[in-house]
Amino acid sequence: MSFSNRLMDKRFNGYRMMPIPNELDKIVQSVVHAYRNGTPHEREIMIGQIKARSAMRLAIYGERMAAVAVRTTTVAPLRDGLTALALAVTRIEDFREFLLLLTPVGHAADTIGVAPLSLVEDLKPLFPESALQLMHDFLAKAPQDRSLKSMGLKTRGTGNDFRYFG
């Protein structure tokens, strides 16, 4: 099964609003980790295999991992989420959708006390140039200019019920 085909399963329909965590998160995580652990040549091939539908699922995973980062106050979910978003932007036609799903990652990083741009810098060798530029430009903005409110997003719940929506 190709890299991206793992994300084409019909079980992903409605993924954005499914409970966190969900068994599908592990499937997306395996795709993200396969990419991150690949050689530069393998990563290039993997990017070429991403389809629009799997790109949206990767981007939604990024948002979900932002919620996990806030719940657990850990950085690892943000690294996975940013990697997924970097892959997603290669096939998302409207970059505004990408920014909408990147916003929670910036919020989560700010919430747990991590500079969002430092995460991008740490992962820079893995990301396609197009993703790096969009992420850098957006996350370099002042927090109020990339706030949840400015993007029409909100949070709901606390602790293990925390999540983003909008």
Contact yes or no for 132/124 (Cβ under 8 A): yes
pLDDT at residue 96, rounded to an integer: 85
Cα–Cα distance between 13 and 55 in angstroms, integer? 13
Contact yes or no for 162/67 (Cβ under 8 A): yes
pLDDT at residue 117, rounded to an integer: 95
For residue 67, what are the contacts with CB-CB under 8 A and spacing of at least 6? 20, 104, 108, 162, 163, 164
Torsion of CA 95, 121, 107, 98, to 10 degrees: 10
pLDDT at residue 95, rounded to an integer: 80
From the list 49, 127, 124, 114, the residue with the least C-alpha distance to 84 is 127
pLDDT at residue 1, rounded to an integer: 54
Contact yes or no for 65/101 (Cβ under 8 A): no
- The predicted-structure confidence for 97-142, as pLDDT tens digits, reads as follows 889 989 999 999 999 999 999 999 999 999 999 899 999 999 999 9
Give the predicted TM-score (pTM) of the model. Answer: 0.95
Cα–Cα distance between 94 and 116 in angstroms, integer? 22
- Cβ count within 10 A of residue 30: 12
Helices (H), the chain: 23-37, 40-49, 52-72, 76-88, 95-112, 116-123, 129-139
Residue 7 DSSP one-character state: G
Which ranges of the chain have pLDDT less than 50? none
